[in-house]
Structure 1
Amino acid sequence: MPYNRVDLAVRELIASFSCLEAPDLIDRLARTAAAVAGTTYSGFVRVDALRQEACCVHVHAPPGDPLRLRRWLAESGVLKELAVSSVTVRVRRDASVGEPGFLATPVPVAARDHTFVWVAGRGFGDGDEHLLSRFATAAGRALEAASGMEAAVRLLRGVRAFRPAQP
């Protein structure tokens, strides 16, 4: 087969656009949210378009989950609260009743269901809320960019598949 510049160029573009894996991006964003908030717990929650159900998309927790946050997320009712909320949700830390401290803010992403980024594990104040809100905006842009790259890869594969054969 003769050297084909178009095929090579399209393959290289697909390879470079495919480097960003959505699960890796979400994990990196969650880890960074925890670092920004000065805690070891963070994650993402997705709410369906009808705002009836919320589910954890990703949870970043230290080994062994010492605060048993995964269980708390499932049993506390905070997911139901996020399902109906369109604003930041803050739960005060109260170890005597098992409240670990929780802060979730909406991620402005136009192409997805409602998404929240959350941090947990200590008491949070207004400054934390402001910082997490700014981080959520950056995370939303990153998620939209990743989605755009995935769409570009699909289109480029179509270009490669349907390009007329070169003599």
Structure 2
Amino acid sequence: MPYDRADVAMRELIAVFSCLEAANLIDRLTRTAAAVAGTGNAGFVRVDVLRRHACSIHVHTPPGDPLRVRRWLAESGVMKELVASPATVRLARDVSVGEPGFLSMPVPMATRDSTHLWVAGRGFSDGDEHLVSRFATAAGRALEAAGGLEAAVRMLRGVRSFRPV
């Protein structure tokens, strides 16, 4: 079989574009958001386009979830708050009633659904809000870029499949 430069180049390009895994990216973004905010808890929530439902995309908590953030997310009504508010949501920390402190930012992305990045585990200030907002913007760009690379890989595989031999 003769050396096919186009096939080799296409395989190499697909391999480079395929290196970024979306699930790994979301996990890394979540862990980094927690570190940037100085908490152990962070995650992403998706709100449908009609703003009727919210679902958790990814949650990061320390081992054992000492603040019970996962349970709090499910039981507190914060998901309804995210559905109702397309903007920043900041909830004060109140240990006496189990409120861990919560800050959520919309992630600017050109998608149909709305995505929010949240951090939890302490009281948050205006400075925290600014910092997490900037991180949410960077996260949105990274997630969109990852989606673009995935789409490019699908297209390149199609080009490779239908390329004349």
For normalisation by structure 1, the TM-score amounts to 0.97
Q: Deviations over 1:73-130 (max 9, x none)?
A: 0000000110121100011000000000000000000124100000000000100001
Partner of 2:161 in structure 1?
161
CA distance in 2 between counterparts of 1:151 and 1:85 reads: 31
Name 2:49's counterpart in structure 1: 49
What residue ranges of structure 1 are gaps of 5+ in the alignment?
none
Q: Residue 144 of structure 2 aligns with which residue?
A: 144
Tell me the SS of whatever aligns to 2:55: strand
* Same amino acid, percent of matched pairs: 76
Hey, what does 1:94 align to over in structure 2?
94
Q: Following superposition, which runs of at least 4 residues in structure 1 exceed 6 angstroms of deviation?
A: none
Partner of 1:111: 111
Give the match for residue 26 of structure 2.
Answer: 26
Aligned residue pair count? 165
Q: Give the 3-state SS of the residue equivalent to 1:137 in structure 2.
A: helix
Any residues of structure 2 matched to 1:68-79 within 5 Å, and which? 68-79=68-79
Letter in 2 for 1:74: A
Q: Which amino acid aligns with 2:93?
A: R
Distance 2:164 2:18 in 1: 24
Q: Tell me the TM-score normalized by structure 2.
A: 0.99
